[in-house]
Amino acid sequence: MTILSVEGLTVALPQGADRPLAVDQASLELRQGEILCIVGESGSGKSALSGAIMGAPAPGLKVVAGSVRLGDQELTGLSEREWCRIRGRRIAMIFQEPMAALNPAIPVAAQIMEVFELHARMSHAERHERALALIRAMQLPDPERIAASYPHQLSGGQCQRVIIAMALAMSPEVLIADEPTTALDVTTQAQVLKLIRELRTAHGHAILFITHDFGVVAEIADRIAVMRHGRIVEMGAARRVLTQPEHPYTRELLAAVPSLVPPASPEPVAAADSPSHPVLTVTGLQKKYGRVRAVNEISFDLERGTTLSIVGESGCGKSSLARLIVRLAEPTAGRVEVNGKCFLSLRGRELRASCRAVQMIFQDPFGSLNPLRRVGAVIARAAVLAGADRRTARDRATELIDRVGLPREALDRRPAAFSGGQKQRIGIARALAMNPDVLIADESLSALDASSQAQILELLRKLQKELGLAILLITHDLRVAAQISQRIAVMQGGRIVEIGSAEQVINSPGHPYTRELLESAPGRGLV
Amino acid sequence: MKALTRPTAATGALLVGGWLLVALLSRVLAPYDPLHSMIPLMTPGARGPDGAVFWLGTDALGRDVLSRLIYGARTVIVVATAATLTAYAVGMGTGLLAGYFRGRVDTVLSFFANVILSFPVLVLYIVIIVALGASAANVVLAVTFGSAPAIFRIVRAITIDLRSRDFIAAAIIQGESTWRILLVEILPNSSGALVVDFCLRLGYSAITMGVLGFLGLGLPPPTPDWGGMVNEGRTMAFAFPHLVLFPCVALSSLVLGLSLLADGLREPAGRLRRVG
């Protein structure tokens, strides 16, 4: 039975945007008990579509044509007052950032009870009972304790379950979930996806699930709609779209999903020069914050022309480890050697002279470039710091911008003119300007769409081959690690629980946590 | 520059620009020597024996009020700007250091800033001027003392925020020197908020000068000084309101202009900071 039908929905962008329409004539039907996934990359208009369906388009956006029907009621053109009777009661929404969607000053049960206060007449005791029942239904451990907790006392996954409970409080006919698992760790993501699937089966909710990740789609979708530039380019049953995609863009997106199968054993590219001695050796590295050991007895070494991936979930200490190696923080104990020389004892001028060897690219493409400085100046400055004079620095910047695949005009622009993937390329060019031996990439791919992710991975692979770089890739995503690494180290609670060749870690994991990570990786069905 | 197309900013710029022009051209614009005594206590518009017109009247010593007002503009703009710039140099320097290095540097600097901020400003001014004597340099010193801690706090907060950005980490990893990080990476990114604050603070400095002048702690007479003019005319204000009224209007319009300008600049400056 069709519950929600959208016909020819068109949403206009404000004037001066890069295209006139955020959503162009989108039509879809959502049936009872099904999960319809809307997949698209950032800027594809998928969030604009969901906002328009909820009658709350983002500021600046305007619904200009089309209809949205819930059951037999037309939703477009409803007044704000009429919407209040529908939102939360008949259509509910789950957001990407669970922490931001909860009020930090109110215990979570009270926040769920608020929904009942708004939409139903119940006694306080009844509301509390219902809230507890919902928390229980979300398979949260120790429901009484969770109910009395404030959001900051819960993990991200627990918060997201509370949000789902709130959304389900009034048993809405339609649930819209906008990237609900994107901010979560893989293992948590797997659990939340499972929960959403079970809810669909048990209660017959109709769920509109918006995501950029085809891996997640493969886990959860009954039907799939692929969006690009505001249009739905392909729609069909999940199995059909995943196995026999018709539209070239769908094929492109599917191809960009990193698979867990390492590409036919990536060869270490160095070999030619010295019989490999490590460029980076880390021994017994440790960092304590108070009594917490954020980084605990980490040891590994990294050879020229090879990639080691450090994989772990948020809070495992992988980023702290990177910061220790580049001297952004001082370790409590341990040694770091670069090219056989002790790196940690260097101070002031000596450090400045040798820091060239280890460079880093960052996670957030927006924060990693000074918004006021032109790209060319940034890269040239790095070259100057590496010892070039002004003239050659300028040439070097041009050479590097070619190398990372950006047009030369980029040199005269400021960071705001670039997309996330392009900013990451600029970050790479800046790091390369220092002629590093070791490149540390700290979650540098996680903020990117799958297709730009694939392109940056390809670029890193190419640069490694040309320059013999040693790459330390820090990531939460085993799939990404599998694509580029010769070796993989899995971190948990500040320790490396398993380290080995990529093939060995992925095909025959030794540690239970590695196995859990592997099982949680979304889209294992996709090959 | 685009900000000036908005009415608030444009009005502000007009007022401030007008006063700047008056200050620059005071020699040309003033009908008389501001220190020259003629006929005492003429009312506005009155004519002298030789047919000269005193548009705003004369004061108790027979000096032309309009000329004193025009030369006073020069005084207030030069001294208030010097005072604000000095306050900025001190506040910005210390704020950058405290926000960047945190730790002990921050503790010590913040402690001093808080001690000064917890003092009633006026008492502070009076103590400084009384102890050191009334002169332009000491007014600058007093204003610096009073404003630098607030500037310190703003710059420190912005620096702490910017310090955590990855582009600062990138600069550190590349071995960039600390002072270059402060001046090239951090300072320009904080300029949006600081430009707005600078305009407002220039107005405060002008008011402070007025207050000090009124209390007899400003520039020593006979320097034409708006606050001083109000002070001198205060006892005769009921009989001769022009002695007090015109300097007050002058000060108000300058400060209003600066505030409007700051308001007009705030909006685009805010947007700039968010991009960072």
Q: What is the DSSP letter of B41?
A: T
Q: Which of residues 82-111 of B touch A (CB under 8 A)?
A: none
Is residue A428 pLDDT above 90, yes or no?
yes
Q: How confident is the model at residue A8 (pLDDT cuts 50, 70, 90)?
A: very high
pLDDT over 70, % of chain B: 95
Give residue A417's pLDDT band: very low, low, confident or very high (50, 70, 90).
confident
Alpha carbons B108 and A247: distance in angstroms, whole number: 65
For every residue of A5-69, DSSP letters joined together read: EEEEEEEEPPTTSSSSEEEEEEEEEEETT-EEEEE--TTSSHHHHHHHHTT-PPTT-EEEEEEEE
The answer to whether residue A250 neighbours chain B at the CB level (below 8 Å) is no
Q: A472 falls in which pLDDT band (50, 70, 90)?
A: very high
Q: How confident is the model at residue A418 (pLDDT cuts 50, 70, 90)?
A: confident
B276/A358 Cβ within 8 A: no
Q: Say what the pLDDT of residue A269 is.
A: 53
Distance from CA of B81 to the nearest CA of A (A): 27
Neighbours of B62 (CB within 10 A): 15
Identify whether the C-beta of residue A186 lies closer than 8 Å to the C-beta of residue A214. Answer: no
Instruction: Search chain A and give the residue with CA nearest B164.
Output: A367
Distance CA B171, CA A281 (A): 24
Contact A113, A127 (CB under 8 A): yes
Q: What's the confidence (pLDDT) of residue A89?
A: 86
The C-alpha of A330 sits at a distance from chain B's nearest C-alpha, in angstroms, of 13
Give the number of A-B residue pairs with CB atoms closer than 8 Å.
Answer: 58
Distance in angstroms (rounded) separating the CA atoms of residues A521 and A187: 8
Report residue A141 as tokens: 């451990």
Cα–Cα distance for residue pair B155/B95, rounded to 1 Å? 5
CA B170 to chain centre: 38
ipTM over 0.90: no
Residue at token pair 């480890």? A321
B189 touches chain A (CB under 8 A): yes
Q: What is the pLDDT of residues B257-267, one digit of tens each?
A: 999 998 888 76
Report the pLDDT value the prediction gives residue A378, as an integer from 0 to 100.
94
Q: So what's the pLDDT on residue B270?
A: 47
Residue B184 distance to chain A (closest CA, Å): 9
Say what the pLDDT of residue A267 is: 57
pLDDT value, residue A343: 87
B276 confidence band (pLDDT: 50, 70, 90): very low
Query: Under 8 Å CB-to-CB from A167, ≥6 apart: which residues?
Result: A92, A93, A94, A175
With pLDDT > 90 as the criterion, what percentage of chain A qualifies? 46
Chain B hits for A430, CB-CB cut-off 8 Å, are 170, 174
Yes or no, beta carbons of A328 and B177 under 8 Å apart: no
Which token pair is A499? 């380290």
CB contact under 8 A, A427 and B170: yes
Segment B185-209 mean pLDDT: 91
For an interface test with B, the pick among A363, A370, A443 (most B C-beta atoms closer than 10 Å) comes out as A370
Q: Which residues of B touch A369 (CB under 8 A)?
A: 167
Give per-residue pLDDT as tens, B157-179. Answer: 999 999 989 999 999 999 899 99
Topology, domain B2-45+52-269:
MetI-like fold (1.10.3720)
Summarize pLDDT for A265-303 with one digit per residue, the tens.
Answer: 555 554 445 556 789 999 999 999 888 888 999 999 999
Tokens of B21: 């022009």
Confidence of residue B273 (pLDDT cuts 50, 70, 90): very low
Distances (CA, A) of A492 to A301, A496, A503, A513: 19, 6, 20, 8
Looking at the predicted structure, is the pLDDT value of residue B77 above 80?
yes
B57: left (phi over 0), alpha (psi -120 to 50) or beta: left
Q: Is the pLDDT of residue A4 over 90?
A: yes
Q: What is the mean pLDDT of residues A240-261?
A: 87
Q: What are the boundaries of each domain within chain B?
A: 2-45+52-269
pLDDT band at A258 (very low <50, low <70, confident <90, very high): confident
- Residue A460: exposed, middle, or buried by beta-carbon count in 10 A (0-12, 13-18, 19+)? buried
CB contact under 8 A, B170 and A364: no
Q: Following CA atoms A432, A433, A434, A437 in sequence, which dihedral angle do they give, to the nearest 10 degrees? A: 30
| pLDDT of amino acid A348 | 77
Q: What is the mean pLDDT of chain A?
A: 88
* Separation between Cα atoms, residue A523 and residue A480, nearest integer Å: 13
Sign of the alpha-carbon torsion through A274, A276, A278, A279: positive
Interface with B, mutate which of A372, A428, A472 (most B CBs under 10 A) = A372
Convert the pLDDT of each residue in A211-235 to its tens digit: 988 889 998 999 999 999 889 999 9
Q: What mean pLDDT do residues A145-152 have?
A: 89
Give the one of A368, A372, A381 whose C-beta lies nearest to B166's C-beta: A368
